[in-house]
Chains A and B, each alone.
Chain A
Amino acid sequence: MTERLTRNQLARLVAQDIPSGAYVNLGIGQPTLVSDYLTPSQNVTLHTENGMLGMGPAAEGDELDEDLINAGKIPVTELPGASYFHHADSFGMMRGGHLDVCVLGAFQVSVAGDLANWHTGDPNDIPAVGGAMDLAIGAKDVFVMMNLLTRDGRSKLVEACTYPLTGVGCVTRIFTDMAVLLVTPDGIRVRDTYGCTFEELLRLVDLPLLAPERESMLKA
């Protein structure tokens, strides 16, 4: 049996699932790790919501430029072929379905693919949504990257989200440290498990899941 995935192994797995030539938006936080595992032969173009395609790695030293930042307000670099555009165009790219993949973190994902990732619902928290709702409903494929369980051992894959929703029925694939899950019209199908068996996974999430298809297990 394989081990549970580390954050970096998970990022590598997500990167491997991004089709070559894709236009991709990586959300703030854990999803930014994915860029470390994209290979040049994949020829992926990164989009940042604040108005750029062709975003390069984080800026260092002399490259630092206050006018060139990513969605997390971290200084970045531009790659050959980069372009800049205003916010309405940038979000038109999302909403208009021009991005192939976005990768987002999550508090919870429901079996129907609903996403909760912007607000805990705690009245003491100051809410901030940014581009999360636009990304969730915009990209052709919405990949979620998260630990399967909360710190106190509860499943973040749920029958219905209890945190405020970011988007309805928008998630297509869920990458966790213990399983990769596909959101299908028939329900959630397990593609692979890590550090647990399918039966153990069922007990952990306490939800009906479709068993892995043998072919995909062999391919993986």
Chain B
Amino acid sequence: MLTIHDDVDEAVSEITDGAIVLIGGFGKAGQPIELIEALLRRGSRNLTVVSNNAGNGTVGLAALIGAGRVAKIICSFPRQSDSELFDAKFRAAEIELELVPQGNLAERIRAAGSGIGGFFTPTGYGTMLAAGKETRMIDGRGFVLESPIRADFALIKALKADGVGNLVYRKTARNFGPIMASAAAHTIVQVSELVETGGLDPENVVTPGIFVNSVVVVPAQITSNGSTEVAR
């Protein structure tokens, strides 16, 4: 059953201390910045966040980390030119980092969403990121056992939702959205536009509404090139 929320604060109001939260986005593309900032206002602490990066600049995930709300982050690429808030927390040993190769991160999330108990992947075999993990030779090649990442909540951004929670995305802002939507007990989506049920071509739906629990509209500025830069 889909809930359409009036504002982002209401949408994140069930996120408790200690929750495991998947956060979509690759860099800023697809990052649900308004939902993350609502989570920051809510004040939930001791969070485990799963996201490809560890925040950019001082907004969104970077602000959540900077405020000390994230006890642990599971990600592939924390260090970037503008990840100074994460860098400071990491150097002060105030955040735990689980570094995961990006494809393993994606597949662990996908596995959780599709009920897979674990999988053998060649990525990382023979490297320090596979240290201590079970390995197996399959057809003469080394594989590493990886486990699913299930979460309590997912915060993602899509372009449009309809009244039953079907989603479409925009360009490379899709990234982790569809797999994260499937891997959380409660998936919260910020969209630029809510259309009436029947307003999305079923052939073009990317995330079916079964994976979506909450939708909130965050109006976007349509720039001259059609980009959906959110007004801020």
Given the complex of chains A and B, what is the CA–CA distance between A128 and B81 in angstroms?
12
Partner among A63, A84, A114, A131 whose Cβ is within 8 Å of the Cβ of B174 = A84
Decide: A48 near B123, CB < 8 A? Known: A90-B106, A128-B78, A134-B104.
Answer: no
Given the complex of chains A and B, what is the CA–CA distance between A84 and B126 in angstroms?
32
Count A-B contacts at CB 8 Å.
154
Q: Quick check: is B66 within 8 A (CB to CB) of the other chain?
A: no
The stretch of A4-12, A66-74, A150-158, A204-212 in contact with B is: A66-74
Closest partner residue, chain B, to A124 (CB atom): B91
Is the beta-carbon distance between B102 and A129 smaller than 8 angstroms? yes
Given the complex of chains A and B, what is the CA–CA distance between A137 and B90 in angstroms?
29
> A164 — which chain B residues lie within 8 A by C-beta?
127-128
Given the complex of chains A and B, what is the CA–CA distance between A32 and B94 in angstroms?
36
Given the complex of chains A and B, what is the CA–CA distance between A132 and B125 in angstroms?
13
Distance between B156 CB and nearest chain A CB, rounded to angstroms: 11
Q: Quick check: is B194 within 8 A (CB to CB) of the other chain?
A: no
Given the complex of chains A and B, what is the CA–CA distance between A84 and B123 in angstroms?
23
Q: Quick check: is B142 within 8 A (CB to CB) of the other chain?
A: yes
A86-108 near B? 1/0 per residue, CB < 8 Å: 11101110110000000000000
Interface residues on A, range: 35 or more
Given the complex of chains A and B, what is the CA–CA distance between A130 and B101 in angstroms?
6
* Chain B interface residues toward A at CB < 8 A: 26-30, 52, 76-80, 87, 90-91, 97, 99-107, 109-110, 121-129, 142, 169-179, 206, 223-229
Is the beta-carbon distance between B176 and A132 smaller than 8 angstroms? no
Is the beta-carbon distance between B172 and A51 smaller than 8 angstroms? yes
Distance between B86 CB and nearest chain A CB, rounded to angstroms: 8
> A128 — which chain B residues lie within 8 A by C-beta?
76-80, 99
Q: Quick check: is A58 within 8 A (CB to CB) of the other chain?
A: no
Partner among A62, A91, A94, A165 whose Cβ is within 8 Å of the Cβ of B127 = A165
> B28 — which chain A residues lie within 8 A by C-beta?
66, 73
Distance between A218 CB and nearest chain B CB, rounded to angstroms: 36
Given the complex of chains A and B, what is the CA–CA distance between A51 and B26 in angstroms?
10
Task: Tell me if A's interface is mostly helix, strand, loop or mixed.
Answer: loop
The 10 closest A-B CB pairs, nearest first, are A91-B103, A134-B103, A168-B126, A87-B106, A88-B110, A67-B173, A133-B101, A128-B79, A130-B77, A73-B27
Decide: A167 near B225, CB < 8 A? Known: A50-B29, A84-B172, A91-B106.
Answer: no
Is the beta-carbon distance between A129 and B227 smaller than 8 angstroms? no
Is the beta-carbon distance between A134 and B102 smaller than 8 angstroms? yes
Given the complex of chains A and B, what is the CA–CA distance between A119 and B78 in angstroms?
13
> B171 — which chain A residues lie within 8 A by C-beta?
52, 65, 67-68, 78, 84
Given the complex of chains A and B, what is the CA–CA distance between A67 and B172 in angstroms?
6
A114-138 near B? 1/0 per residue, CB < 8 Å: 1000010000011111111110011
Closest partner residue, chain A, to B173 (CB atom): A67
Distance between A137 CB and nearest chain B CB, rounded to angstroms: 5
Given the complex of chains A and B, what is the CA–CA distance between A119 and B124 in angstroms?
13
Decide: A86 near B177, CB < 8 A? Known: A62-B224, A67-B170, A134-B123.
Answer: yes
Q: List 13 A-B contacts (CB under 8 A).
A: A69-B26, A86-B177, A87-B52, A88-B107, A90-B106, A95-B121, A126-B91, A128-B77, A128-B99, A130-B101, A133-B104, A134-B123, A168-B125
Q: Quick check: is A217 within 8 A (CB to CB) of the other chain?
A: no
